[in-house]
Amino acid sequence: MIASIEHKNQIYKVDLSNPIDISVPLRGDQKGVNAWYVEPMKIEPVRTDQFLGSVAEGGDVNFRNIFFNPHGNGTHTECVGHIAKEVYSINDTLKTFFFFGQVISVEPEVYVGEETEWQKKGDRVLTKEQIQNAIKGNPEAIVIRTLPNPLEKIGHQYSNTNWPYLAEEAAQYISDMGIKHLLIDLPSVDRENDGGKMISHRAFWNYPANPRRDSTITELIFVPESVVDGAFFINIQIASFENDASPSKPLLFEII
């Protein structure tokens, strides 16, 4: 299915029948990606005296309860409600779902500067200069693939690993460019232990000064090695959760 899309007075063609899924599935076992010290997702049949929600165990239908944390158990998209005192819902934030975007690959640099509560020597950091050099044009969304990019990312246990993160200046630069949707293959744009500052989240969302309520961050994606850096159309799909975040399924569409 070939579609023609007009964006900023330019016509692009994409094959809607050939999406590239960059989400990491939520899994009900020990093999799923995990972060923030939460338990793996659990999927359990409903069991009562009158009902069994498992066909394999003799029930009429599969009818399961699912227990998970969207921030820790898989790909998720979040809004400014993640860090705000005010209540903001991802379901109210994300009202359009198709964006002109760009995939960039960046290898974090080792931080050697002055130490602060949220930044330490030896941290691996995505810098403003790296982001600035990688972004071309004016995309509405960017997808950041960190390097190296092993397949093991899709089942990595991130808790207590001090993962790489986005420098405040880099997040501010992305915000200043007017990019509304930031997608990254890490559990957070911020340091795992930053004293609760959430510096890069705040910079991207311009919170609390003038919150960008129509902008989102998507974390824990995985961009396959076969995807070449460059322009794509990006579809971000969420469930209709009235919450700061939802499990999500971002898709890339190559431009023909």
The CATH number of the domain holding residue 130 is 3.50.30.50
CA separation for the pair 86, 211 (Å, rounded): 11
What's the gap between Cα 171 and its chain centre? 14
pLDDT tens-digit series, residues 118-169? 899 999 999 999 999 999 999 999 999 999 999 999 999 999 999 999 999 9
CA separation for the pair 9, 209 (Å, rounded): 33
Residue 63, in any domain of the structure: no
pLDDT tens-digit series, residues 161-205? 999 999 999 999 999 999 999 999 999 999 999 999 999 999 999
pLDDT tens-digit series, residues 57-66? 999 999 999 9
> How many CB atoms within 10 Å of residue 5?
15
Residue 185's SS3 state is coil
What's the gap between Cα 237 and its chain centre? 11
| pLDDT of 117 over the 90 cut | no
Measure the CA angle with vertex 108, ends 127 and 190; round to 5°: 65
Residue 52, in any domain of the structure: no
pLDDT at 120: 95
Residue 102, in any domain of the structure: yes
Residue 57, in any domain of the structure: no
Q: What are phi and psi of 145, to 5 degrees?
A: -100, 120
Tokens of 97: 């779902």
Mean pLDDT (whole number) for 39-65: 97
Domain total in the chain: 1
Tokens of 98: 């198709």
**CA atoms within 13 Å, Cβ hemisphere of 25:** 5
Structural domain of 228: 2-27+73-254
Residue 184, in any domain of the structure: yes
Residue 41, in any domain of the structure: no
Measure the CA angle with vertex 196, ends 210 and 87; round to 5°: 45
Residue 58, in any domain of the structure: no
> How many CB atoms within 10 Å of residue 201?
23
Residue 90, in any domain of the structure: yes
pLDDT at 44: 96
